[in-house]
Structure 1
Amino acid sequence: MASAFAAPRINTVSYSEPEREHADVINMLLRGLDDECRAFMGAVQLFEHASAEMLKRLRDDDSRAESDKFREWTFIAARDATGSVFRFYEEMAAIGINLGHCPSVRAAMNVAKKRQATRTFRTLFPNVEGMRHSAQHSFGMMYGTPNGRAEHSTPEGSLYVNNLIGDEFETTYRRRRIRLRIHADTHASLIQVRDLYWAAFEPLDMWRSRLLAGLRKPAQGSTGDGTQ
């Protein structure tokens, strides 16, 4: 249900400084989680559009320049999608840092939900730092020396940097092959984590809590399974 509403908002009026300032930042970061979900979906849509246009031009035997243009768009979309996942991760980390200065928020929030959100993200996106490097580095400083290549190549000696295999964006990072699928299913995974984070802070937004509680409650006279 949480995904149908805006991010929960902590009412910071009664807080004293510096807790109020940190709580205000948490409010901003909770909205930021949704911004990155929407940015990822936008990248998926661009990726799918560019992929379809590239294949269409290859089938129609259009100029190589036209198909290459859309091929480059797929890489732009993949890099942007990868950046959205990493920014989501950074905002999660920043929420945790600010919570260290907000004892009142910690006392009122659902800590178990936040822990669940963090675990879920780590399970769904276990190599987030490597993903970030796949988007930010080509062969430059990270892969552009013999030592760098040795550090990041797989045990078999393979090195993949910004490689697209279908809808999966691949790189090697610290001797592991890392992939991120540029797909609506990955977006759904981000939404899942976002909703868990929002649920953790829902107790601090009384209006939201009451609205969601009302929507979850079965209609009067209903058993909750569709019968009367």
Structure 2
Amino acid sequence: LTYFPKVNGTVVSVEGEKVIVNLGKEKGISKGVLLTVYREKEPFYHPITGVPLGRFEEEVGTVEVEQIESDHLQARSITPGESIRAGDGVRISAARIPVGITSLSPDGPDFLTTELVSALSETGRFRIDSLPPKSGIGDALNRKNLYLIQLTTSKDEGRFLMKLEIQNTQTGQALSEMSVQIVQSDESDLILEHLQYQLFERQQSQIK
């Protein structure tokens, strides 16, 4: 969840495929995250009162985060033929993000994958697609997932080892690859909290 904060920013400048956005490290965005670029259009009004309710929007492209600085980030345009320009809005959608999850260890502890799927679904932030074992980027992309999480799990002397890799399906860029040890517990919620805390700590160390 920490990899996909609900953020809104503005395009500062565009030079070829390079796009500068006014979102810095404090926003918690990670390298490899996909951002939607949109342009505000004409306003729309309440049909009876005439009160302005907002503006129509046009989606103009997608950019992939490449570098994050203290007060801005650099991204790369990955949508052919788009016309991104300074002043356009940028965001990680507030809608549910489509994520595919697959296990690379068919003989590993199944409950870790099951609980991760359940925990992510319950946040309301993601639309989780449970993929067949050993699925790849192409499989996730064909099912319209923006991201793929591949899990490798094993058990050793009361400890579970979970290796987790998150990639975006548009370019294959990895957001993170990490190994997390989880002490065996009868309380699954504690296991998930332990995992989420370590994921957050790893993310913070990467963006400092």
Tell me if TM exceeds 0.5.
no
Structure with greater helix share of residues: 1
Q: Normalising by structure 2, report the TM-score.
A: 0.24
Q: Normalising by structure 1, report the TM-score.
A: 0.22
Considering only CA atoms, is the larger Rg found in Structure 1 or Structure 2?
Answer: 1
